Structure 1
Amino acid sequence: MSLRDKTIVITGAGSGIGAACARRFAAEGARVALVGRRAGPLLALAEETGGLALAGDAADSAVWEDFLARIRARWGRVDGLAACAGGLGMGAALETDDEAWRAAMRANLDTAFVSARACLPDLIRQGGGMVLMSSIAGLAAGPQACGYVVAKHALLGLARSLARDYGPAVRVNALCPGWVRTPMADEEMRPLMAAHGEDLDAAYRRVTADVPLRRPATPEEIAAICRFLLSDEAAMVSGACLTADGGATAVDVPTLAYARLERE
């Protein structure tokens, strides 16, 4: 029921959730193919996990022929995909030029689509699964993040379309985390830290003050959910959108003023 002897491709594997997935999957006996733009972190992680470092742009279909040839030469097949690559897309619509828009779509949506399309033939043969990393930004709009919000919403449609078209051979699910303590999220804390004279921990407490669990997730907690979704334990789960947000999306936003009044 674990991932033992399964070959899992992980995009965005160089840091954050992708790197945590690689470590978790490898600890359970999986063979991990690590895809990312930066060779250095991938090589270090490959040495740590026994994985295969594949440096390149996951949104570029031309690189996948080489990636898959190397994966099959080493392990013979692909059993699962964790599409964790993402980022960019900050700014409201009037602040987003064509280049920034395309970059946001490429980083979040194209990476998942191209990776999924490349891995699908193996996954169909193996009866494998995919997890596409969306966000609670795929369920509701945060401020000043037009490209990111749109791309993460689109990932839910991609997951459902893939689940519909390729079941029963392949299971596909989307995962929507809230705040996760990653290097990317740390950078997003900088404006709050500067505005309020706070350290990083205080900034995270501020952004999760109205979240029921009152804290961000760790990358390892999100990796554990990915592990479940890719394992045989989730054999009946496909086309789902699973939130991992500490309860954030359960909160009735218009009533937050009352909760804040009680705290004052």
Structure 2
Amino acid sequence: MNSAVAEKPVVLITGASSGIGAATAAMLARTHRVAIAGRRAEQLGSIARETGVMPLAADVTDPAECERIVEQTIAAFGRLDGLVLNAGVSRSARLADMPLDEWEFVIRTNLTSAFLVAKAAIPHLLKTKGAIVSVSSLSALRTSQGFAAYSASKAGLVVMTQPIARDYGPEGLRANVVCPGWIRTEMADMEMSEYSEATGTDKEELFRRAVEHVPARRVAQPEEAAAPIVFLLSPHSSYINGAVLSVDGGAAMVDVGTLVFG
């Protein structure tokens, strides 16, 4: 193996078949060796052909699959320097209307999978004094109608990641969180399409309304969420640990009680 290639750090990204995960993979592939995991093998393969990353089709709600993707990353590259916990799904319903199986699916995909992958990866990350970035959501910090399961899972991801930072920081491992707002991802498009059909409102109009009180006044592209993730994995963020970074165009700071004043 070429020594220059061998020196490149290694990152594993879950939920990388589209959106923020795929954008992060493409950005990291320029300087890192990258393994991407997700359910959709065909989309992973397409990303791999475009970027040179290693695709790992896997269901991260399965503990054995979580161990496998970490083991395969180590087997291929010999080390692990970074982990991006990005697997996520959304189901919308008010709490009393949500079926138990849907609640459990959201929690298992968004939170338990992160626990399982991190548990398998931490021993390897300690060897390299590596970094974890968990991709949570603005919904972890602010509530939305019908988002009980999603918000609970994403808030849980925040308060799971911070103890990792606390517990393993003395050994050189860092763990941080990004909380994206509206990003133009496949999942966001699906959510808006469903709401568009239910209300008869144009999808693009719904996106416009979603950010009309956000100071940036626009929806972001996946690359705009990927860039902070890349930063938090890098040596440039070496003294940032346990942080929760909102990537939301300023949405989290808006006081909705003052919107009447313009």
The answer to whether residue 123 in structure 2 is matched with residue 115 in structure 1 is no
Q: 1:93/1:256 Cα in 2 relative to 1: closer, same or farther (>3 Å)?
A: same
Distance 2:112 2:157 in 1: 9
Is 1:246 aligned with 2:249? yes
Aligned to 1:87, which of 81, 86, 89? 89
2:160 is aligned, of 152, 155, 158, to 158
The corresponding residue for 1:62 is: 64
The Cα of 1:202 is off from its aligned counterpart by 2.5
The yes-or-no answer on 1:6 pairing with 2:46 is no
Q: Distance in 1 between matches of 2:13 and 2:249?
A: 24
Offset at 1:26?
0.4
Over 3 Å counting, the alpha-carbon distance change for 1:119 and 1:105 in structure 2 is same
Residue identity over aligned pairs, in percent, reads: 41
* Conserved? CA contact 1:12–1:36, under 8 Å: yes
The CA distance in 1 between the partners of 2:152 and 2:245, in whole Å, is: 18
TM-score by length of 1: 0.92
Aligned position for 2:218: 215
**Superposition pairs of residues 196-211 of structure 1, within 5 angstroms:** 197-198=201-202, 200-211=203-214
Match in the other structure for 1:30: 32
Contact kept, 8 Å, 1:59 with 1:115, in 2: the verdict is no
Contact map agreement 1:88 1:107 (CA 8 A) in 2: no
User: How do 1:41-52 and structure 2 match up within 5 A?
Assistant: 41-52=43-54
Match of residue 133 from structure 2: 131
CA distance in 1, matches of 2:211, 2:67: 42
Shift of 1:112: 1.1
Q: CA RMSD in A?
A: 1.4
Structure 1 residue 192, shift from structure 2 partner: 4.7
Aligned length: 254
Write the deviation string for residues 85-142 of structure 1: whole angstroms up to 9, x where unpaired.
1112321111112111100101110121111111101100000000001111000111
CA contact (8 A) 2:59 2:65 kept: yes
Going from structure 1 to structure 2, the CA distance change for 1:152 and 1:64 (only over 3 Å counts) comes to closer
Letter in structure 1 aligned against 2:242? G
C-alpha separation in 1, matches of 2:65 and 2:158: 25
1:56-82: per-residue Cα shift (whole Å, max 9, x none)? 112322123332332222210111001
- Could you list the per-position Cα deviations for residues 173-225 of structure 1 after superposition, in whole angstroms to 9, with x for gaps in the alignment? 01001000001101111255343542x33221111000000011110010001
Find the aligned partners of 1:30 and 1:139 in 2 and give their Cα distance: 31
Match of 2:189 in 1: 186
**Residue 97 of structure 1: aligned partner:** 99
Cα contact 2:58–2:69 (8 A) shared by 1: no
SS in 2 for 1:53: strand
| Aligned counterpart, 1:258 | 261
Counting only pairs closer than 5 Å after superposition, residues 161-176 of structure 1 correspond to structure 2 as 161-168=163-170, 169-176=172-179
Shifted more, 44-53 versus 113-122: the winner is 44-53
- Aligned residue type for 2:122: L
Task: Give the aligned residue type for 1:256.
Answer: L
- Asked if 1:73 is matched to 2:75, the reply is yes
- 1:155-184 alpha-carbon deviations (Å, 9 max, x no partner): 111111110111132100010010000011
Instruction: Check conservation: 2:67, 2:117, Cα contact below 8 A.
Output: no
Paired position in structure 2 for 1:231: 234
Point out where structure 1 has 5 or more consecutive residues left out of the alignment. 260-264
